[in-house]
Amino acid sequence: MDSPAGEYEVKLGRLPTLTGKPTHYCAGCEHGTLTKLIASAIDRLGIREKSVLVDSVGCSVFAHDYIATDAVQAPHGRAPAVMAGIKRVEPGLVVFSVQGDGDAISIGLLELFYAANRGEPITIFLVNNAIYGMTGGQMAPTTPQGMVTTTTPRGRDTKYTGPTVDASKLVSSLDAPAYVKRVSLPLEPLPSTYLYSAKGTMECAAAVENAFKVQMMGGFSMVEVISTCSVNWKMSILESKRYAADVLSKVFPPGLYKDKFGVERR
């Protein structure tokens, strides 16, 4: 099978890099899918035994329960600094994190910015679901204009709070990072059918693998993964998938923001 996503589906549940523990993620959340895509890429590249996961704080704080590599826990927002510390002393390791948008773009922006600016050979999977998930649905730096959250109960007014922050744009504006890609992971409802497109899943699978490859080529890589949070968005799962396709993908357009080594052309 040519596509990595296809291969992952065939091997579903049998990936050596998955612990097999059922995830705590809510129904409809993309965290679980991303977890499998990461484990699958690690297995395809054969790097499990030299990989170290750095946990962030948020819904991804339990990533080590599912991804069967060594793991170190970082304080909220500090994963890129912890990763840099590990990687600088042990450059042979593959070091990666799964961070949320609040973790990486709000409290941890300095750590993300400077790790990227130094071109640390590390990989960050940034799950952007436009809200603080684990703390119960507060406004994030990525919350779009008008979205109702528990701290913007009348809808976010970006004139008051400042506009959303675009991490892929920001990081790719720096010289050092080698690979920055934004994908929209949610299944996309196809109009006038009961069908969904899994294009985002396929793209994400490829991006995850590319990101690891770029790290092993010595570059900083980040994949921003647009996701849903139907529970905190107070939407049905179907509505949340539509919202991701109709609104989030406009605010945060998927695309290849940086590819210094040309991994996508190979």
Partner 1 sequence: MSERELIKGNEALAYGALRSGLNAYFGYPITPSSEVPETLAMEFGSPEFPDFKVFLQSASEVEAINMVIGAASTGAKAMTATSGPGFSLMQEGISYAAGMELPIVVVDVNRAGPGLGNLGPEQSDYFQATRGGGHGGSRSIVLAPNSVQEMGSFPSLAFSLAFKYRNPVVILADAFLGQLKEDIVFPKTVSEKFEAPWAATGSMGGSRHLILSLHLDFEDQKRHSEDLMGKYERVDSSEQRAESYLTDDASVVLVAYGVVSRVCREVVDELRSRGVKAGMFRPVTLSPFPAVRLAEVASRGRRRFIVVELNMGQMVYDVRLAVGGAGSVESVRDLGGMVPTAREIARAAEGEKVG
Contacts with partner 1, residue ranges (CB under 8 A)? 48-52, 54-55, 61, 64, 68-75, 78, 81-90, 93, 110-111, 113-114
CA distance 137 to 167: 20
Cβ distance to partner 1 smaller for residue 83 or 205? 83
In this structure, how many other beta carbons lie within 10 angstroms of the beta carbon of residue 27? 8
CA distance 67 to 160: 40
End-to-end Cα separation, the chain, in angstroms = 18
Q: Which two three-digit tokens encode residue 4?
A: 């990595």
Cβ distance to partner 1 smaller for residue 50 or 169? 50
Cβ distance to partner 1 smaller for residue 88 or 234? 88
Count of residues making up the chain: 266
Minimum distance from residue 111 beta carbon to partner 1 (Å):
6
CA distance 16 to 11: 10
Tell me the residue ranges of DSSP E strands in the chain. Answer: 51-55, 70-73, 94-100, 123-128, 131-132, 138-139, 179-184, 188-189, 196-197, 221-226, 255-259
Cβ distance to partner 1 smaller for residue 80 or 254? 80
Minimum distance from residue 78 beta carbon to partner 1 (Å):
4
Cα distances (Å, whole numbers) of residue 74 to 53, 206, 264? 10, 27, 31
Q: Do 207 and 125 touch, CB atoms closer than 8 A?
A: no
Cα 140 off chain centre by: 15
Cβ distance to partner 1 smaller for residue 86 or 183? 86
Q: Do 176 and 118 touch, CB atoms closer than 8 A?
A: yes
Minimum distance from residue 159 beta carbon to partner 1 (Å):
30
Minimum distance from residue 184 beta carbon to partner 1 (Å):
30
Cβ distance to partner 1 smaller for residue 32 or 85? 85
Minimum distance from residue 14 beta carbon to partner 1 (Å):
18
Q: Do 164 and 143 touch, CB atoms closer than 8 A?
A: yes
Minimum distance from residue 250 beta carbon to partner 1 (Å):
33
Minimum distance from residue 43 beta carbon to partner 1 (Å):
14
Q: Which two three-digit tokens encode residue 134?
A: 């684990």
Cβ distance to partner 1 smaller for residue 5 or 74? 74
